[in-house]
Structure 1
Amino acid sequence: MSIKYPNGQIYHNNGDKTASKLQGKTKKRSHANRGMTLENDLNVTNEQYLISGKAVIHKKPIPIQIVNVNYPRRSAAKITEAYYQKASTTDYNGVYNGYYLDFEAKETKNKTSFPLKNFHEHQIKHMAACTKQNGICFIIVRFSSLNRVFVLPFSVLEFWWNQQKEPNGKKSITLSAIIKEGIEVPYGYSPRLPYLTAVDTLITQTNLKN
């Protein structure tokens, strides 16, 4: 099925790819998660958080407008073309321990930096607006080739986003900066990707500023 943005551009999402099976239990944890997309890891983790009563966080649904539908037979229908009705904001939002969370999840095959082209202006504006309302905003980035995941505060993303507009501005966030300014999230079993531990640190930092 072809899904497009309002401007007609075709939407591509790496997270839509079918995740490969987990490796055998005897292999190291760092290798066990290879092949799993960040989106799948987060969806499983959020389900575990929901079941345990720790947080209510969901991936945001994006309304689409159906354009063409094929009916191969009377009892079946297949959507062949659709458009997003509006540009998306961020991937996930929800409530945790009385705080509103809003975040974007991205991954890259790059080993030394994270390209800023993975984000859009309207997403930056959305997270800035949520931050002004005391929401906890951040991004979760995964370096797939390194199998490393980081939680990065929105304030850091905003700084790098703005500097790229300056002469000689960089078009990506270096891995060294992410390691310094972000919080690495190690893989676990249950939850699979315990990112709320990093969020606790962000909440503490926010409260200290306030």
Structure 2
Amino acid sequence: MPIHYPNGKPYQSPAQTAAPAPVSYGGRGMTLEDELNQSNQYYRDTKRAVVYKKPTPMQIVKVDYPSRAQAVVREAYFKTPSTTDYNGVYQGHYLDFDAKETKNKQSFPLKNFHPHQVAHLNACLAQGGICFVVIRFVTLHRLFLYPASDLNRCWEAALADGRKSIPLTEIVEHGFELHPKLAPPVPYLDGVDWLIATKKGQTHG
């Protein structure tokens, strides 16, 4: 089914762009999105945080009815540009974050972010939110929480004809490495605790 952005351009899923197809990670065979959804469920069940994946409003423009009891959507558009994947609340703090994967070993390409996503994170930072991205280096089996303030710094540098990717060394230095568990598979609240303690998640620029 073709899905389009508000500007009419065809949508490409993360599997078609930077993120890989479902991969086996830690023996579970789930995508990063799957693992984050499972982690969010665990955090809700244990009453540690209330975080959900954001729904994306869709405008359906073509539907086929192969039978009276069945409808098949053939074409749809995003009503508005997507912002980030997840938001919620943790210990009185508003959380807003995105999740990305790359097969690169040395850096994370900034082209995996859209300008409106970075602008959204900056707007949430300006309101005192805790904002970050969860980045997986698939082939290295390494997972990081990286502050949105540092993402914005690299983004602004790229706009000024700087490097178009974030080096792994930069992510290691300024981010927080996450170590997957059985429950939750992506323990990102460990990184959020670090952000709160260091105030990195609440510093814009």
* Alignment TM-score, normalising by the size of structure 1: 0.89
Name the counterpart of 1:36: 30
Q: In structure 1, what is the Cα distance between the partners aligned to 2:120 and 2:9?
A: 21
Q: Secondary structure at the match of 1:176?
A: helix
Partners in 2 of 1:153 and 1:208 — Cα distance? Answer: 6
The SS at the match of 1:32 is coil
Aligned ranges 1:58-207 → 2 under 5 Å: 58-167=52-161, 169-206=162-199
Question: 1:11 deviation in Å?
Answer: 1.4
Gaps of 5+ in 2: none
Inter-partner Cα distance in structure 2 for 1:209 and 1:140: 16
Deviation for aligned residue 1:31: 4.2
Equivalenced residues, count: 200
Aligned-pair identity in percent equals 49
Structure 2: how far apart are the matches of 1:146 and 1:190? Answer: 21
1:120-140 CA-to-partner distances (Å, cap 9, x unmatched) read 111111111111111000011
1:14 equivalent in structure 2? 14
Q: Cα distance, 1:36 vs. partner? A: 2.1
Pairing 1:54–2:48 present: yes
SS of residue paired to 1:62: coil
Question: Deviating runs (4+, > 4 A) in structure 1?
Answer: 15-20, 207-210
CA contact (8 A) 1:116 1:171 kept: yes
Residues 67-116 of structure 1 deviation map (CA, whole Å, 9 limit, x = unaligned): 10011111000101000001011110000111000001110111110000
> What's the secondary structure of 1:164's corresponding residue?
helix
Measure, in 2, the Cα distance between the counterparts of 1:140 and 1:5.
24
Distance 1:92 1:75, change over 3 A: same
Aligned-pair RMSD on alpha carbons?
Answer: 2.1
Q: Equivalents in 1 of 2:156, 2:103: separation in Å?
A: 24
**How far 1:19 sits from its partner (Å)?**
4.5
Amino acid at match of 1:182: G
Q: What letter matches 2:35 in structure 1?
A: D
The residue identity in structure 2 corresponding to 1:6 is P
SS across alignment from 1:81: strand
Instruction: Name the residue aligned to 1:27.
Output: none
**In structure 2, what is the Cα distance between the partners aligned to 1:146 and 1:203?**
27
Tell me the TM-score normalised to structure 2 length: 0.91
**Residue 130 of structure 1: SS of its match in structure 2?**
helix
Once residues 208 and 90 of structure 1 are traced to their aligned partners in structure 2, the CA distance between those partners, rounded to angstroms, is 16
Any unmatched runs of 5+ in structure 1? Answer: 23-29
2-structure distance, mates of 1:172, 1:144: 16
> Contact between 2:178 and 2:188, CA under 8 Å: does it hold in 1?
yes
User: How far apart are the structure 1 equivalents of 2:201 and 2:155?
Assistant: 24
* Cα displacement (A) at 1:15: 6.2
